[in-house]
Amino acid sequence: GVPAVSANITNTVALCPGYFGGILAQANDLKDQKKRLWLLMPASVIGGVLGGFLLLRTGEKLFTDLVPYLILLACLLLAIQDPVRAWLTRRMTEGHGPKLEALTWLPVSFASIYGGYFGAGLSVIVLSALGLTLEDSLTRLNALKQAAAFAVNAAAATYFLFSGHVLWTVALIMAVGALLGGWLGGKLAGKIKPSTLRWTVVTIGVVVAVVYFVR
- Give exposure, 116-146, as e/b (b: 16+ Cβ within 10 Å): bbbbbbbbbbbbbbbbbbbebebbbbbbbbb
Give 93's DSSP letter.
P
Q: Which of 3-12, 39-48, 135-144 is the least confident region?
A: 135-144
Number of domains the chain contains: 1
Domain extent, residue 106, equals: 4-214
Between CA 126 and CA 111 the distance in angstroms is 6
What pLDDT shows up at residue 88? 57
Residues 111-162 pLDDT 10s: 999 999 987 778 878 888 888 888 787 788 888 998 999 999 999 999 998 8
* pTM recorded for the entire structure: 0.79
Evaluate the CA torsion angle 59, 61, 63, 65 in order and state its sign: negative
Crossing angle of helices 122-133 and 138-160, rounded to 10° = 130
